[in-house]
Structure 1
């Protein structure tokens, strides 16, 4: 039997294992309270994970690194400077603890965006750095373990050293076992490994993946890293129709040019009027008032903070998960919207 998610209502999962990956990252396995239930998702997707910190539920988005049809979901979390949820998970979450979770989501996946097929099969390039390795690792495992798959995978990951490479030994094993899995690690310190030492640039990309133009590219990593990679692809006239990327980098901040003008945000469901500043992120206004809004990715890609602006106006930088009908009805993503005037907002 498969696990049944409850729409956009959080469900309770239990941490059944916690494993050290590197000095600053761990993997956790989450199971249903009934451990016989199996999970399904699209490789590359994430879940919004909620934990209680100082009496308050905090949600963040983490990519899934396990396989479909297993009785657990595996997430890999890396320590982040100032990262409230990530650092709590590394330092305080224990096997046996419960967490809250929203259903798998995300357009960055290899089901909705399969690699381009040719008469020789499909050729992909998975590029990652840091914890960006998680979703592309899930994609690679899916292709390798699919009996019908004819995908050739070049897996290019950038890290400080072998010890700082998440899944290092698993990647080496896949490279040894599967002829269609070609591992390319580029390390700042490659001592004791067979891998080259350097910093990714266009020359390194072409040396490690000389047929990059023939591949479908899936990219995930820190914001600047991904911008750099896109620049390298543009330099070789790569067909960006065959390019997909994921990012949880925040996309919005307060507009300081507007921040001195007071506005009012009224939430009728809670009969609450909130004093705010013009140019302030809507999610910040709602969170500071203690309202139950979930803002997981904070990047305008997960949709967990969807709410309806019934009157007034906001400036939005992302509408990625909203349908045309929802946009017409006034729905916005609070994490990606700046308050422009007095508002009336409906949550949920």
Structure 2
């Protein structure tokens, strides 16, 4: 029996397990509160998790690290300085506690973006650093769990960068996969490799070429901190990779250029008829900020224009958008925007919820 999501409404899930992966990261497993049900999603996708902070439900996005069709969703959360939700999940959440969860979403997945085949077999390169390992680890499990003849496993090279073996999320699991599967090839790049035979150093163009000589033949899935991904994309491009076969994910918030709120600028009004509210704002303010400050029930998770949780409809007036990634052409035509990526330009009427 599969777990049923109800549109884009948050569902209550119960924490059934919690354990440390490293000194500063934990994995939690979330399940149906009533009975075991399997969760369906595309490996690489994420969910938005809501927890109560100072009387408000605050959401953040976390990649799913468990295989699809398990009776739980596993999320691995790393401590973040100032990370309100992440640190709540590490320090406060206990087994049997509940959280609010929005349906799985995200274009960074290996179903919508399948690997290309080379000589009859899919050739994959997974590149990650830090907590960016979570979505690509789910992809690796997906391919390794496929055993039918028409879904033969991909040949996987997994290159992960971390500080040390102790700081490597899923370290023991990765080494087990490397030992068990002939078509899974682990390459750890560690700042300190003491006690292991893994590579010590920092990922570079020359090191990537040495670790993955056939890199140009592989479909690449990349996730990690922003600077790591920028550097790695540069290496891949320099090595002659087809960038159309390079997929990447990041939850690093996009920096928007806000118009300065000069006194000479007139206020604009944001009307939300459903909640009988009219809010005064400054031209150039983000729609998400205005709605949140007014206490309206808008879900904002990634704040980067990639998760779609803050989708709402502008029925009158104009906004300037910097991202429409999760919106369909039909939704855009109907006036839907991502509030975290929409700057108010004029008086607007908005539908949320």
**TM class, shorter-length:** over 0.9
**Distance (whole Å) between structure 2 residues aligned to residue 203 and residue 259 of structure 1:** 50
C-alpha change, 1:201 and 1:259, in structure 2 (3 Å) is farther
- Once the two structures are superposed, the pairs formed by residues 129-208 of structure 1 within 5 Å of their partners are 129-147=129-147, 148-208=151-211
The aligned residue for residue 59 of structure 2 is 59
- Once the two structures are superposed, the pairs formed by residues 297-308 of structure 1 within 5 Å of their partners are 297-308=302-313
- Once the two structures are superposed, the pairs formed by residues 261-340 of structure 1 within 5 Å of their partners are 261=265, 262-340=267-345
8 A Cα contact 1:66 1:138, kept in partner: yes
8 A Cα contact 1:251 1:317, kept in partner: no
The aligned residue for residue 17 of structure 2 is 17
Deviation at 1:256, TM superposition (A): 4.4
8 A Cα contact 1:35 1:71, kept in partner: no
Tell me, what secondary structure is at the counterpart of 1:58? Answer: strand
Tell me, what secondary structure is at the counterpart of 1:140? Answer: helix
Unaligned runs of 5+ in 1: none
Deviation at 1:258, TM superposition (A): 5.5
User: Residues 203-249 of structure 1: CA distance to partner in whole angstroms, max 9, x if unpaired?
Assistant: 11111111110100000111111111111111122111111111111
Task: Give the superposed CA RMSD.
Answer: 1.3
TM-score with structure 2 setting the length: 0.96
TM-score with structure 1 setting the length: 0.97
Tell me, what secondary structure is at the counterpart of 2:199? Answer: coil
The aligned residue for residue 6 of structure 2 is 6
C-alpha change, 1:259 and 1:208, in structure 2 (3 Å) is farther
User: Residues 229-278 of structure 1: CA distance to partner in whole angstroms, max 9, x if unpaired?
Assistant: 11111112211111111111111435144565332211111111112222
**Distance (whole Å) between structure 2 residues aligned to residue 172 and residue 105 of structure 1:** 29
Deviation at 1:8, TM superposition (A): 0.5
Tell me, what secondary structure is at the counterpart of 1:189? Answer: coil
8 A Cα contact 1:269 1:346, kept in partner: yes
